[in-house]
Structure 1
């Protein structure tokens, strides 16, 4: 293995990782909302990034073959994830269609860090697309590289995840002046509710 082939594998992992993670989804919407509020951003970002690192490592190590051999793992995650997403969507819809006073209160109310972390863990690990994309798809992609290059590929994908979640969580804080108005929160929570419902339906009828 040469230095150029290792660098190419790392860059491929970086690009591949970004293509999987940069999309509107439950996890990104959750990070965005916490980033805008400036609340527990580091713990939430850390949960997302560390979870991705673990899943990427599992995929490159060959756990994707285990998931393919036991599809019941994905099935259980699919239905559990759908139920959780529907519940989260209902909460977002309730916030969106509440009174202006309720919206302002929800936007300013402090949530315990433990609750934020547990919710983030559920949004991450109960999402079967995480296993299909990060573990199976990336794991399969890694098999096209020589054994010595696969971990450079994994490293690139891990860096992509860390950079993305840091940028999303801390970059969202720049939007806080916009969200000084209740209407902005109403729009954001409406979008979150729609995304969550759509993802839940996608899981139930996939």
Structure 2
């Protein structure tokens, strides 16, 4: 029975992170344009924030955002500005030779960017709380631990696989394909940022 709930958590986790979103777009872009060491760091940091977000949702942190309108609006404002900036930067970037784009980035910059594309989205926290919190409500305590462990493992497997596969195959991409990927990833992230800004706008109008 415990294995069954673990597998259910794993499958849920894959379904939860697989759709192309801010995290996937950022990891894909990093894997294409940066060195493998930077890509691995980005994947691991993204995994950390994704798992902590899942745990927060599982234990109902979204409840506090619902109760604190000020906190929610602050996160929306900072998140929308930061996400829009990242999206525009990707759209405007022109890919050069891959060997020239593998610029070392500070660990602090990677952490901040991974934090932005994961945690600076209160809607994701609230939606995650409804999904994971709702599932947790149907599970007894000792079983729920296996479910969320499966979810966490799914996040780890997904982002490590995605970053590794893209990183090892990036040399197959020419500049035109890289430019298209930049536009797609940047547009996805930009749209998320606009969505956050719109959510903030609706709070006042």
TM-score category by the smaller chain?
Answer: 0.7 to 0.9
Query: Are residue 29 (structure 1) and residue 25 (structure 2) matched?
Result: yes
Deviation of the 1:106 alpha carbon? 9.1
Contact kept in structure 1, 2:27 and 2:43, CA below 8 Å:
yes
Counterpart residue number, 1:196: 189
Structure-2 separation of matches of 1:112 and 1:82: 23
Q: Is the 8 A contact 2:57 2:126 kept in 1?
A: no
In 2, Cα distance between equivalents of 1:58 and 1:119 = 19
Q: Which residue of structure 2 aligns with residue 99 of structure 1?
A: none
1:103 aligns with 2:100: no
Shift of 1:53: 2.1
For structure 1, the 5+ residue unaligned runs are 97-101
- Work out the CA distance in 2 between the residues paired with 1:107 and 1:10: 43
Instruction: Give the 3-state SS of the residue equivalent to 1:177 in structure 2.
Output: helix
Match of 2:35?
38
Matched, 1:67 2:60: no
- How far did 1:134 drift? 3.5
Q: Kindly report which structure 2 residues correspond to 1:42-53, keeping only aligned pairs within 5 A, or say none.
A: 42-53=40-51
State whether structure 2 residue 132 is matched by structure 1 residue 138.
yes
Cα deviation, residue 54, structure 1 = 1.8
- Against the structure 1 CA distance between its residues 164 and 107, is the aligned structure 2 distance closer, same or farther, given a 3 Å change threshold? farther
CA deviations on 1:98-143 (whole Å, 9 max, x unpaired) are: xxxx633796240313222322222222122441244443122211
Query: In 2, are the aligned partners of 1:10 and 1:154 still within 8 Å (CA)?
Result: yes
More deviation in 123-132 or 63-72? Answer: 63-72
1:55 alignment partner in structure 2 = 53
Give the C-alpha shift of residue 203 in structure 1.
1.7
Aligned partners of 1:116 and 1:27: how far apart in 2? 12
- Greater CA drift, 53-62 or 161-170: 53-62
Match of 1:185 in 2: 178
Q: What TM-score does the superposition give when structure 1 sets the normalisation length? A: 0.83
| Cα distance in 1 between the residues matched to 2:42 and 2:121 | 16
Q: Distance in 2 between matches of 1:46 and 1:16?
A: 20
1:163 paired residue number: 157
In structure 2, stretches of 5+ residues that fail to align are 200-205
How large is the Cα RMSD of the aligned pairs? 2.3
**1:77 to 2:75 alignment:** yes
Residue of structure 2 equivalent to 1:152: 146
Q: CA 1:106–1:79 in 2, change beyond 3 Å: closer, same or farther?
A: farther
Report how many residues are paired.
Answer: 196
2: CA distance between counterparts of 1:23 and 1:71? Answer: 29
Give the Cα–Cα distance (whole angstroms) in 1 for the partners of residues 138 and 66 of structure 2.
18
